[in-house]
Structure 1
């Protein structure tokens, strides 16, 4: 879990990368919003980004499934974060799996400048394969929080996102009509 020592010493040049990951409906965005709000309460300068393609709840804000939200800047590619995320102390990134392969390098550059980077995203796609830049980002992170959901079939911890509709597209935005969280056993029953 995240070491709160970094929050207590905002004036020190201490960059880091934190990754919040897990399946759909596990609370990743909720946890990202919580951490970003704590940084704002601490009067740290925060900048928040999301992929421009993610317009499910709001075109600009990051919104959790519980409808908690925080303003963000929608961007087309990871390199835009370097331009827009300068002169800040904390950078938040939602839906990290939808960014291009430059995201881990961008996050590393920011952390090397003393910026705390907090990224949330799916670690696996609907086929239970590593998703986008998440594996490389997790490899570079100091702190990784893997959150589980509740399996809608049996009620145990869910680590997989099961797609309910017939599509082979890896990038398919959707909500409860398209996906449900499942444990490994229940995920494999319907594959």
Structure 2
């Protein structure tokens, strides 16, 4: 990622979006960037949706169990209340937040804060998921990550739901419910 040099000395904010399918390493990348910001002695605040309790109620945890402390919240407006004096704000599972998240991220970036958002870009039906498309449109930097297809070993960018009888868009799960697939294997549905 290229960061423009700051000649004037004023603090410039930005929005970074990390997206991809399940098991592509989005949360791992978010944690890596946030830990690097902490090493640089930047003030970091981290948020996740309160409904995401798969690994831990409070921590953001990647599939390989790397973790970082976060604040679980009910809605994106709460970030504006809790960000304090943060230089960097991390937001995980952005697809589960309300439709105010892109505006909240814009407001934070305008205050000179580096905002790093991670989330699924498509749901299990292959359609754009939640607020991620709107965040991608506003992003200064975008990182699209890929998993490995469990059927053929090629690059996977789809999250295949193994239980096709449940049509709810929000169904929290891991490898018991989802698997990464390439386009060909996703559409074969076998």
Structure-2-length-normalised TM-score: 0.96
Q: Distance in 1 between matches of 2:30 and 2:118?
A: 6
Segments of 5+ residues of structure 1 without an aligned counterpart are none
Name the Cα RMSD after superposition. 1.4
Q: Distance in 1 between matches of 2:31 and 2:85?
A: 20
The corresponding residue for 1:138 is: 136
Kindly report structure 1 stretches of 4+ aligned residues shifted beyond 6 Å. none
Q: Distance in 1 between matches of 2:173 and 2:43?
A: 32
The corresponding residue for 1:152 is: 150
Q: Distance in 2 between matches of 1:3 and 1:71?
A: 27
SS in 2 for 1:37: helix
SS in 1 for 2:58: coil
Q: How many equivalent pairs are there?
A: 188
Shift of 1:3: 1.8
What are the equivalent positions in structure 2 for 1:38-117 lying under 5 Å apart?
38-117=36-115
Q: Distance in 2 between matches of 1:129 and 1:40?
A: 35
| Residue 19 (structure 1) aligned with residue 17 (structure 2) | yes
The corresponding residue for 1:169 is: 168
Segments of 5+ residues of structure 2 without an aligned counterpart are none
State which of 26, 30, 33 in structure 1 corresponds to 2:31. Answer: 33
SS in 1 for 2:46: strand
Structure-1-length-normalised TM-score: 0.95
